Chain A
Amino acid sequence: MKVARAARPPAERAPATEAAAPPRAGERRAPVRAPRVLLAGNPNAGKTTVFNLLTGATAKVSNYPGVTVERRVGRAALPDGREVEVVDLPGTYSLTARSPEEQIAVDAILGRAGEPAPDAVVVVLDANTLARGLYLAQQVAEAGLPLVLALNVMDELEASGRAVEVDRLAARWGARVVPTTASRQVGRAALLAAVAETLARPEDPSALAERETPWAPEAAALVASLGEAVAREMPALTPAGVRSVARWLLLSADPEAELVGVPERLRQEAADARQAFDREHGAGALDLSVVGARYRRIDDVVREVLRDREAHHHRTSLGERLDAVLTHRVWGLVAFAAVMAVVFQSLFAWAEPAMGLVESAIAFAQDLVRGALPEGPLRDLLVEGVLAGVGNVVVFVPQIALLFLFVGFLEDSGYLARVAFVIDRVMGGVGLHGRAFVPMLSGFACAVPAVMATRTLENRRDRLLTMMVVPLMSCSARLPVYVLLTAAVFDADARVVGFLSVGAVVLFAMYALSVGGALLAATVLRRTVLRGPRPTLVLELPSYRLPVARDLLRSTWTRVRSFLVDAGTIILAMTIVLWALLSYPVDPAAEARFEAQRAEVSRSLEGEALEARLEAIEGEASSARLRHSVAGRLGRAIEPALEPLGFDWRLGVGIVGAFAAREVFVSTLGVVFGISGESDETSTPLREELRDAVWPDGRRLLTPLVGVSLMVFFVFAAQCMSTLAVIRRESGSWGWVAFVFTYMTALAYVASLLVTQVGRALGFE
Chain B
Amino acid sequence: MEPRRTLVSIPVGQRVTVRGLRPGVPRSVALRLLEMGVLPGTEVAVARAAPLGDPLHLKLRGYSLSIRRSEAQAIEVDAPSAERP
Contacts and interface: CB of A to CB of B under 8 A. Distances in A.
Interface of A: 93-94, 96, 98, 128-132, 135, 251, 254, 256, 282-284, 287-288, 291-292, 295, 314, 323, 327-330, 332-333, 417, 420-426, 428, 533, 536-543
B5 interface: no
11 contacts: A131-B62, A284-B27, A287-B27, A327-B48, A327-B57, A329-B51, A421-B50, A425-B55, A537-B67, A537-B71, A538-B66
Interface residues of B, number: 38
Given A132-B61, A425-B52, A425-B54, A288 B28 contact: no
A540 B63 contact: yes
Nearest to B25: A284
Contact of B50 (A132, A254, A327, A543): A327
A131 B25 CA distance: 25
Contact of A251 (B29, B31, B63): B31
Nearest to A132: B37
A542 B66 CA distance: 10
Contact of A287 (B30, B48, B50, B66): B30
Contacts of B39: 288, 291-292, 295
B66 A425 contact: no
B3 interface: no
Given A94-B35, A422-B50, A131 B30 contact: no
Contact of A536 (B20, B28, B52): B28
A539 B66 CA distance: 5
A427 B36 CA distance: 24
A428 B30 CA distance: 20
B1 to A, nearest CB: 17
A248 to B, nearest CB: 12
A96 B35 contact: yes
Contacts of A332: 50-51
A708 B47 CA distance: 50
A323 B59 CA distance: 12
Interface string B57-85: 10001111111100100000000000001
Nearest to A98: B28
A282 B23 contact: yes
B65 to A, nearest CB: 6
A422 B52 CA distance: 7
Contacts of B11: none
Contact of B20 (A98, A288, A421): A288
Contacts of A283: 23-24
Interface of B: 20-21, 23-37, 39-40, 47-48, 50-55, 57, 61-68, 71, 85
Most chain A beta carbons < 10 A, residue from B26, B31, B33, B35? B35
Given A129-B62, A291-B34, 11 more contacts: A132-B63, A284-B23, A287-B27, A295-B37, A422-B50, A424-B50, A428-B68, A536-B29, A538-B32, A540-B63, A540-B66
A333 B53 CA distance: 12
Most chain A beta carbons < 10 A, residue from B40, B57, B63, B65? B63
A132 B51 contact: no
Given A131-B62, A538-B65, A540-B63, A284 B37 contact: no
B31 A96 contact: yes
Contacts of B66: 417, 420-421, 424, 537-541
B36 A536 contact: no
A328 B33 CA distance: 25
A132 B32 CA distance: 12
B85 to A, nearest CB: 7
Contacts of B28: 98, 256, 533, 536
B81 to A, nearest CB: 15
Contacts of B47: 323
B48 A540 contact: no
Nearest to A418: B66
B83 to A, nearest CB: 14
A330 B50 CA distance: 10
A323 B23 CA distance: 33
Contacts of A284: 21, 23, 25, 27, 30
A215 to B, nearest CB: 15
Nearest to B58: A541
Given A135-B35, A283-B24, A537 B55 contact: yes
Nearest to A288: B34
A284 B26 CA distance: 10
A297 to B, nearest CB: 13
